């Protein structure tokens, strides 16, 4: 069987069929709390920290639907004496735990008792932390129980006016528990059961009626938002689009997810932090799901629905027709203009996210090329009496409006601008790289950042147009990708618009599905490239999907290629400028080294000197005193042991000694 999903008419995207009741399954609405098995557990220990302390008693009560199904209680030998303060608090003495089973024997029995249940504890991190530490110490795998903390629930529904704190003894007295807590495991677990039931009864009016609700029941979510939790009931766990609708059935917000049920439920929990979305949830009256075959189809449907309904709580993709482009006009003396539509015969880049971004890209082109900036349409022959603007006076415009001979010069400039827009942006990058390098040397970093931002805006617009142009010109493209289950996900694209999708189950020949998809796919009229037939962001989504690993092109009607030296390789302005700047810096350094070498070669060497410096006396230790000499006296001059005159050390020898101290010392 092949599940095919060609794009249906708009009304099929927005509304579900009415008049037919749908049987909602338990998987769609979750597990009611009355059907959940809880194991309420309490521990007594020798201290407050797992690892440094040990368990002395385990008590647990298993309940479901308000009925007690079983109890578990045992003392545990902690492997050491029980501290005196713990004995006073709990009444458990060292003599009581001597001979009791160790935790390695108790833990398997408790895990079997609690299998498949939800653990409940008062201050659950304490009790569950000790149990996890014991499991790790004894080599038992922790099953990963869902955990409910009655302290967090109590903080949600019990105010300070009712109880001064949220201790177990205080809550047990408030809710008139049948068992009084006494710091013994089983008694405290029984008291916690009564507290749990009382808390759940208070949470029910707030919309906490299923097990899935308890995961966020302790979060600080306004009650009016939590009460709308039922809007997520019945939503499928499948990819698709969801539409929040208001009191007049107007579309408030459109979103997409791989799991409609989980995503919509998150709007009613503390996970949703956006004040704008909370305001939307307060207004919403219903949620319309649109199940899609694939996540790509869901993303595309979201864009189309946003463009169709213009929901007030959606901020992006609301008006694709207002996205600006840059046009190199088709006239005798072309110029650059920011427009909102693509016309045949002219060169365009974009679309840009805003008009300011498009204007920055225009300024980048003007900074790189001396193309005319005036907005009036110029005749092929200058009119008599025409005057040039100030840009012509400073050399930034060839002034074809007054100089007939400037037509060829301006035409050559236009060709370079067109080349930079549609193919190689090197002319723009090089011009801005030099400008940024000069400003950085002068420490004018703010101006350099402005130039960099202009270059970035141009590169983004040019790269986007170069990506969109081949896809929008392609009449039909069929691609396939293996799914995780082993089947095939098929995509049909016509002129950049998603015309249909299909899922082929595993071990099924996809060829018949491809032919059926091509025959039943949406008809798409050819657009004016580089503008695609659909939403520009839809074409970006399709290109992103086509670029994923494992995607195979089945067929394509026209060649699909990009320029070799395109702007797509230079979308990072820092990298594009950095490479050029580094090459320029290296070239300047080489030129400086060559110039210094030539200056050194042209400088004459000084003439050698024959005059030897005067000899100096080399100091030597005084000889031993002769007969009759007083202690400390040296020999007189002229004595055979008197110092001799020696020439100064040779400079070459001094240099050798400096370079090789060890050799010089050995020679000495």
- Residues that are catalytic: 183
Determine how β-strand 118-121 pairs with β-strand 37-45: parallel
Extended beta strands in 293-351, E state: 325-328, 336-339, 347-349
Closest of 40, 41, 43 to residue 130, by C-alpha: 43
Residues 338/330, Cβ–Cβ less than 8 Å: no
Q: Is 425 left (phi over 0), alpha (psi -120 to 50) or beta?
A: alpha
CA distance 280 to 272: 12
Which helix (H) or strand (E) segment holds residue 188: the answer is: helix 185-203
Peptide bond into 39 cis (omega under 30): no
Closest of 77, 82, 67 to residue 98, by C-alpha: 77
**Tokens of residue 464, six digits:** 């986007």
CA distance 435 to 554: 47
Q: How far is CA 395 from the centre of its chain?
A: 46
Residue where the block lists tokens 């303060």: 85
Beta bridge partners, 646, equal 616
CA distance 574 to 303: 32
Closest of 243, 237, 274 to residue 256, by C-alpha: 243
Closest of 419, 434, 454, 431 to residue 567, by C-alpha: 419
CA-CA-CA-CA dihedral for 300, 306, 307, 311, to nearest 10: 180
Beta bridge partners, 553, equal 479
Residue 32: DSSP 8-state: B
- Tally DSSP H helices, then E strands, for the chain: 24, 18
If 0-12 CB within 10 Å is exposed, 13-18 middle and 19+ buried, where does residue 190 land? Answer: buried
**Tokens of residue 408, six digits:** 């060829």
């Amino acid at each position: 069987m092949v599940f095919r999903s060609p794009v249906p008419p708009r009304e099929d995207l927005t509304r579900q069929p009415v008049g037919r009741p749908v049987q909602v399954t338990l998987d769609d609405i979750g597990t009611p709390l009355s059907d959940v098995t809880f194991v309420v557990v309490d521990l007594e220990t020798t201290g407050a920290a797992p690892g440094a302390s040990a368990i002395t008693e385990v008590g647990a009560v298993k309940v479901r639907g308000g009925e007690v199904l079983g109890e578990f209680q045992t003392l545990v030998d902690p492997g050491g004496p029980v501290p005196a303060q713990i004995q006073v608090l709990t009444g458990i003495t060292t003599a009581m735990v001597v001979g009791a089973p160790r935790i390695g024997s108790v833990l398997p029995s408790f895990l079997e008792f609690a299998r498949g249940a939800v653990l409940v504890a008062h201050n659950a991190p304490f009790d569950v932390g000790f149990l996890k530490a014991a499991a790790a110490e004894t080599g038992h795998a922790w099953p990963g129980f869902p955990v409910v903390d009655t302290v967090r629930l109590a903080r949600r529904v019990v105010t300070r006016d009712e109880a001064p704190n949220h201790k177990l003894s205080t809550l047990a007295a408030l809710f008139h528990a049948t068992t009084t807590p006494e710091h013994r495991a089983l008694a405290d677990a029984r008291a916690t059961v009564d507290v749990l039931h009382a808390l759940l009864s208070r949470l029910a009016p707030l919309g906490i009626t299923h097990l899935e609700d308890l995961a966020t029941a302790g979060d600080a979510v306004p009650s009016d938002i939590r009460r709308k939790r039922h809007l997520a009931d019945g939503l499928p766990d499948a990819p698709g689009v969801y539409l929040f609708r208001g009191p007049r059935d107007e579309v408030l917000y459109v979103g997409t997810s791989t799991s409609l049920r989980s995503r919509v439920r998150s709007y009613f929990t503390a996970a949703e932090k956006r004040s704008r979305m909370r305001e939307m949830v307060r207004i919403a009256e219903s949620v319309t799901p649109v199940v899609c075959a694939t996540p790509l189809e869901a993303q595309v449907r979201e864009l189309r629905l946003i463009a169709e309904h213009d929901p007030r709580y959606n901020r992006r993709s609301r008006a694709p027709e207002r996205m600006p482009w840059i046009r190199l006009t088709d006239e005798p003396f072309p110029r650059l203009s920011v427009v909102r539509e693509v016309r045949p015969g002219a060169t365009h880049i974009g679309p840009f996210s805003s008009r300011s971004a498009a204007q920055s890209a225009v300024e980048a082109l003007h900074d790189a090329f001396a193309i005319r900036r005036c907005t009036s349409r110029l005749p092929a022959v200058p009119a008599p009496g025409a005057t040039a603007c100030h840009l012509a006076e400073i050399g930034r415009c060839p002034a074809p409006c007054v100089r007939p001979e400037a037509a060829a010069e301006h035409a050559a400039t236009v060709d370079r601008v067109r080349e930079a827009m549609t193919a190689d942006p090197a002319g723009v990058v090089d011009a801005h790289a030099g400008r940024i390098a000069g400003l950085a040397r002068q420490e004018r970093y703010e101006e350099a950042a402005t130039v960099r931002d202009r270059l970035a805006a141009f590169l983004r617009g040019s790269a986007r147009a170069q990506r969109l142009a081949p896809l929008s010109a392609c009449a039909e493209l069929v691609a396939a990708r293996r799914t995780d289950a082993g089947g095939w996900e098929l995509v049909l694209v016509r002129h950049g618009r998603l015309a249909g999708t299909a899922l082929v189950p595993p071990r099924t020949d996809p060829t018949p599905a491809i032919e059926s998809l091509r025959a039943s796919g949406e008809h798409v009229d050819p657009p004016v490239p580089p503008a695609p037939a659909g939403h520009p962001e839809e074409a970006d989504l399709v290109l992103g999907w086509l670029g994923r690993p494992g995607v195979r092109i089945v067929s394509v009607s026209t060649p699909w290629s990009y320029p070799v030296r395109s702007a797509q390789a230079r979308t990072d302005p820092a990298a594009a400028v950095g490479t050029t700047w580094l090459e320029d810096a290296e070239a300047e350094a080489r030129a400086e080294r060559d110039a210094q070498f030539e200056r050194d070669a042209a400088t004459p060497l000084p003439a050698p000197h024959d005059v030897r410096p005067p000899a100096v006396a080399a100091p030597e230790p005084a000889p031993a005193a002769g007969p009759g000499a007083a202690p400390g006296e040296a020999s007189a001059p002229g004595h055979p042991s008197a110092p001799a005159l020696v020439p100064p050390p040779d400079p070459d020898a001094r240099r050798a000694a400096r370079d090789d101290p060890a050799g010089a010392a050995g020679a000495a």
